Amino acid sequence: MRIREAKFIGSYPDYKLTPKSNLPEIAFGGRSNVGKSSLINTLLKRKKLAETSKTPGKTRLLNYFLLINEAGKEALYFVDLPGFGYARVPVGIRGTWKGMVEGYVEKSDRLKGFALLIDSRRGVADEEIQLIKYLLLQKKKVVPILTKTDKLSRTEITNIVRMTSQTLMPFGSDIAVPIIHSSTKKIGNDQIWRWIDERISDAGK
């Protein structure tokens, strides 16, 4: 898909308040500070469309970005979800985030794919496994994306890809093959867009 324009639409505390439309949505989720905003900016070739922060737990709402294709038509939404797993965020707020994300995943029939970002320096943890199980139970398409690979050597990248694939093997074809990504080196963008295009094509059937 070729994108002519992308713009931030708004932040919402509840999926019921999100834009009313039939456009498909692709969600980006993962642990706090895993690089969701950086990945979105890189995919859309924008520097500051999605705000990045060095403070984990900064994103606390459902952030919507509207994508317009080269024909000038509204094509889909990117949804930047609140991160999870940051201990310094108060328990009450973490519970609110969990309810917000689960409400969105379970109630939004426009969600056509979930990009699960995983920090390549730490690999897949129990939290990611539990999220994958939950998403598959909700019949959602999932692609694991290993972020920040520019911080690893080639050998380390090979090892983390192998370990991730082995960890996710029990899920079989229910989950996509892991994609390695680097926002600074623009690695992995084409593979992610191909996966997104497949989800959009599925939505149109």
State the pLDDT at residue 90.
42
What does residue 149 show for φ and ψ, rounded to 5 degrees?
Answer: -70, -10
State the pLDDT at residue 57.
40
Whether the full predicted model's pTM is greater than 0.75, yes or no, is yes
End-to-end Cα, the chain, rounded Å: 17
Structural domains of the chain, ranges and CATH numbers in brackets: 3-203 (3.40.50.300)
Q: What is the pLDDT of residues 188-205, one digit of tens each?
A: 999 999 999 999 987 665
State the pLDDT at residue 175.
94
Q: In which residue ranges of the chain is pLDDT below 50?
A: 52-58, 86-94
Residue 168 class from Cβ within 10 Å (0-12 exposed, 13-18 middle, 19+ buried)?
buried
Contacts of 150 by beta carbon, 8 Å cutoff, 6+ apart:
182, 183, 184, 185, 187
State the pLDDT at residue 202.
73
Cα pseudo-dihedral 124, 125, 126, 129, rounded to 10: -20
